[in-house]
Chain A
Amino acid sequence: MRAALESLLRARKLDVTLTPFGPSGEALGPVPDQARVAPTGVPALDAALGGGLRRGHLSDIAGAPSSGRTTIVVRALAAATARGEAVALVDARDAFDPASAAAQGVDLPHLLWVRLDGRDPAIAVKAYSLILQAGGFGLAVLDLADAAPAALRGLPATTWMRLARIVEGSDTVALLVGADRLARSAGGATIACESSAPGWQGTAPRARLFSGLAFTPRVVGFAHGRQPASHVL
């Protein structure tokens, strides 16, 4: 029995179905292999994630508007394209700004961008499934940040489990973006973004410049997570 379980674990048949936490929250699983993680490009977040988001797992980012969730996604896309990987973004509300992304370092020819009008998130999930099934992408993002909560509740309950099973064992980091937590696989991470004060340059009312957002991404429910310090982008 034990030998059978160990062989299944070696074949990674069970590792994503087991919880990596002990009763007191300590990590049970091995430290993630650095070749199996994808750095997000946000150093504080990568340190909290033990190197980055784990490949072959479903992770998610949640936060309110101006909480920095899109910045983390774009940084992750930039880091992946800098490594020469192909990346994909299913944009449920057609909100992606190529100019901002290029300024953050995203190599746009490596980005497969699927633009939707946001009417039905099921179509976005279907497109995302096709991308995950095709394989070969280093990072695949499903952006449902502006989707209506009622529409998301209308998705079948097995949607996220099916996505996690598709990406399991592959080299792809599957990343969901939403206003609230959507789903993650056992080896994935949930990053909760909280907004804080925006940064401004200049004190005079007519000579002021918006310089960026200060936000605190919190890693929730990850085996090797530490809470990163506030990060200003």
Chain B
Amino acid sequence: MKVPSYDDLTPGIPDVGPAPADQLALFLRSAPAAPVAPLAPFAPRAPLAPCAPLFACLRLHAGAVPHPGVLLPIATDFSPRVKRVSEGEVLLDVSGLGGLIGPPDEIARQLARALVDAAIAANVAIAPTTTVARLLATQASPDGPLDTDRFHELPVALLEPLETLPPAMPPRDRARPYETFQRWGIATLGELAELPAAELSSRLGRRGIALQRLAQGLDPAPFVPDGETPRFIDRLELEWPIDALEPLSFVLARLLEPLSAALERADRGAVALRLDLRLTDRSTHARVLQLPAPMRDPRVLRTLLLLDLESAPPPAAVDIVAIELDPAPSRITQFSLLQRALPSPETLSTLTARLSALVGELRVGSPALLDSHRPDAFAMEGYAPEQGARSARSAEVRSAEVRTEDTEGEGLATDARSADVGPVLRRQRRPQVIHVSIERGRPAHIASSRRGVPHGAIVQAAGPWRLSGGWWTDRDWNRSEWDVALKNGAVCRIYQDRVTDRWFLDGVYD
């Protein structure tokens, strides 16, 4: 039996950065009375990506009396992205400070020096995730930078303040997994991190997996700094109602250009776009566009909005136009010198929107095969070749898993040809009714009244291949398939519906 992992149960929780303990862990203790201890040379075990996230944690010493807001001014001197965890603990995002200050050890050194200058006794820890930074900052007796082995030797009990639990949870329940770890002899983060996830999930549930991810240094949620999140929203009241798309496009451009400029200043892109049109009949025509990637080109956004409004026009003239953009960190793309560049998300968004307006939204996309024996089982998905390239490896793993669990597939198939590569079929997606003459239990002749449907005497036939399934749904199938070669050279796949005994043309091999 396959035990769902925490990833399966909570697909929406992203991993923030790679496993940090393999990359970098810096720790520094500063005290007003003593100079900053020299750091050992910075030597990450794996090369850091140029844009790898980096977080610092400032934590007052255990004996220090916390003064409200004493750490915040120092943190905000270094980064605008600051989060106050408690009176004595502050997190700050120091990603990108390398160009301004230097390598991470220099950032840590300057943070510690600032604390010393302010006469604050606090610990400084820098790591690629906030979890590791916070765990390191709780240490009481540091003597220079920690290495990865020492991180894994930290006690499991340090995870308790990092957990996000319901306030109403009884203390007994809060302590339960830690008591279990104690009974198992799991004392350190390294031991917890190496436990098999499936077994841990079956015994401690999602909380056990969450604790293990913390022990591995992974953040449970993305870093969200304090402060008022800027809203990218604009609104325009029109002097005269607009009842056509062309004049509305100028209004949209006037709203989108300053919004895009604001996004650029904040180094953000829009991942969703909400358009509210207040109409003359006092109703509101709301449209929401989910964008495949953060983008801020006002021309692209305006085109997407107009194409969407073409497919869903407002029922009355427009009085008020309001646009809100949902911001997200902008994209950083590194192209390869050895591979051809794929179309950009902006290009693809515009293209798919134009194609959807032309042929219909459900008729544009990428096909995805379904785990089913139902003939012609596929689904249309959004076209995203970049994501497809990234997920290719995981898809291979998934398909291998599916092959090993073939007994759980939908329906019953006796199609011996499925294992072969076989020829390519041109499908009749709306099966054409044909008339088939039977001789000695085998198809002998095909006749059809429709033009373009292959017909004539059958010179070769292979079958029947019986397929059935889905009887527990309203999309069941039960049919006998034949591969037949006609006298005129066409090779077709035909089938007889075993419920109605009618014959259909399924496709032509080509």
Contact A64 B489 (CB under 8 A): yes
Q: Which residues of B contact A67 (CB under 8 A)?
A: 489, 510
- Interface: A101 (CB within 8 A): yes
The B interface is mostly helix, strand or loop, or mixed, namely mixed
Point out the residues of chain B lying under 8 angstroms from A95, CB to CB.
426-429, 507
The yes or no answer to A48 lying at the interface (CB within 8 A) is no
Q: Mark B314-341, 1 if CB is under 8 A from A, else 0.
A: 0000000000000000000000000111
A103, A108, A136, A205: the one within 8 Å of B341 (CB): A136
From A7-15, A112-120, A160-168, A223-231, give the one contacting chain B.
Answer: A112-120
One of B363, B389, B392, B417 near A116 (C-beta < 8 A):
B363
Q: In angstroms, how far is the closest chain B Cβ from the Cβ of A167?
A: 15
Contact A127 B509 (CB under 8 A): no
Q: How far is B429's CA from A71's CA once the two chains are assembled, in angstroms? A: 18
Distance, CA A127 to CA B417, complexed state (A): 35
Bound CA–CA A108/B365 (angstroms) = 10
- Residue A186 is within 8 A (CB to CB) of chain B in the complex: no
Whether B368 pairs with A97 at a CB distance below 8 angstroms is: no
By a CB distance below 8 angstroms, the chain A residues around B424 are: 70-71, 74, 97, 100-101, 104, 233
* In the complex, B42 has a CB within 8 A of chain A: no
| Interface pair B368/A127, CB less than 8 Å apart | no
Contact of B342 among A86, A113, A114 (CB under 8 A): A86
- B422, A65: Cβ atoms closer than 8 Å: no
CB-defined contacts of B391 to chain A, threshold 8 Å = 109
Q: Are B385 and A110 in contact (CB-based, < 8 A)?
A: yes
> A121 near B: Cβ within 8 Å?
no
List which B344-379 residues lie within 8 A (CB) of chain A: 344, 347-348, 350-352, 354-355, 358-359, 363-369, 376-378
Interface centre among A66, A94, A213 (most CB of B within 10 A): A66
Measured between beta carbons, the chain A residues less than 8 angstroms from B483 are 210
Q: Are B416 and A209 in contact (CB under 8 A)?
A: yes
A134 touches B343 (CB 8 A): yes
Distance in Å from the Cβ of A148 to the closest Cβ of chain B? 8
Is the CB–CB distance between B358 and A126 below 8 Å?
A: yes
Instruction: Answer whether residue A221 sits at the interface, using C-beta atoms and an 8 A cutoff.
Output: no
Chain B residue at minimal CB-CB distance from A98? B367
CB of A60 within 8 A of chain B? no
Contact A138 B340, beta carbon cutoff 8 Å: yes
Nearest Cβ on chain A to B26's Cβ, whole angstroms: 38
Q: Provide the residues of chain A in CB contact with B485, threshold 8 Å.
A: 198, 210
Q: At the interface, yes or no: B442 with Cβ under 8 Å from chain A? A: yes
A195 to B509, CA, bound (A): 11
Which residue on chain B has the smallest CB distance to residue A213? B423
Asked if A200 and B460 make an inter-chain contact with CB atoms under 8 angstroms apart, the answer reads yes
Task: Tell me the interface secondary structure of chain A in the complex.
Answer: mixed
Which chain A residues (40-67) contact chain B, with CB distance < 8 Å?
64-67
Residue of B nearest to A101 (CB): B424
Tally of contact residues, B, Cβ under 8 A: 62
Asked if B51 lies at the interface with its beta carbon under 8 angstroms from chain A, I say no
Count of CB-CB pairs between chains A and B under 8 Å: 182
B452 in contact (CB, < 8 A)? yes
Evaluate contact between B355 and A130: CB separation under 8 angstroms. yes
Asked if B38 is at the interface (CB within 8 A of a chain A CB), the reply is no
Query: Across the interface, which residues of A come within 8 angstroms of B343, CB to CB?
Result: 86, 134-137
B454 at the interface (CB under 8 A from A): yes
Determine how close the nearest CB of chain A comes to the CB of B324; give it in whole angstroms.
28
Identify which of B381, B387, B508 contacts A65 (C-beta below 8 A): B508
Residue contact A146 to B460, C-beta cutoff 8 Å: no
Q: Please report which residues of chain B, range 389-434, place their CB below 8 angstroms from some CB of chain A when the two chains form the complex.
A: 389, 391-392, 416-417, 420-429
A31, CB-defined interface residue at 8 Å: no
How many whole Å from A82's CB to the nearest CB in chain B?
11
Which residues of chain A are within 8 angstroms of B223 by Cβ–Cβ distance?
none
Give CA–CA (A169, B442) in the complex, Å.
54
What is the 8 Å Cβ interface bit string for chain B, positions 452-480, against chain A (1 contact, 0 not)? 10100000111000000000000000000
Per-residue interface assignment for chain A, residues 72 to 105, with 1 indicating a CB less than 8 Å from any chain B CB and 0 otherwise: 0010000000011110000000111111111110
Task: State whether the Cβ of A153 lies closer than 8 Å to any Cβ in chain B.
Answer: no
Report B352 CB to chain A, min CB distance, Å: 8
Instruction: State how many angstroms separate the Cβ of A164 from the closest Cβ of chain B.
Output: 20
CB <8 Å contact, B460 and A198: yes
- Indicate if the CB atoms of A130 and B358 lie closer than 8 Å: yes
Q: For the complex, is A218 an interface residue (Cβ under 8 Å from B)?
A: no
Q: How far is the CB of B495 from chain A (nearest CB, A)?
A: 14
Cβ 8 A contact of A94, one of B385, B423, B429, B510? B429
Q: How far is the CA of A40 from the CA of B331 in the complex (A)?
A: 34
Inter-chain pairs besides A195-B489, A208-B462, 14 sampled, C-beta below 8 Å: A66-B490, A66-B508, A70-B424, A84-B389, A95-B507, A99-B369, A107-B392, A108-B367, A130-B354, A135-B343, A138-B340, A202-B462, A208-B460, A213-B491
Q: Could you list some 19 contacts between A and B, CB below 8 A?
A: A65-B490, A66-B508, A66-B510, A67-B510, A71-B424, A96-B427, A97-B425, A108-B366, A109-B385, A109-B389, A110-B366, A111-B367, A112-B351, A134-B347, A148-B452, A208-B462, A210-B417, A210-B423, A212-B422
Top 10 closest pairs, chain A to chain B, by CB: A109-B388, A136-B343, A98-B367, A70-B510, A210-B483, A208-B462, A95-B426, A134-B351, A115-B363, A100-B424
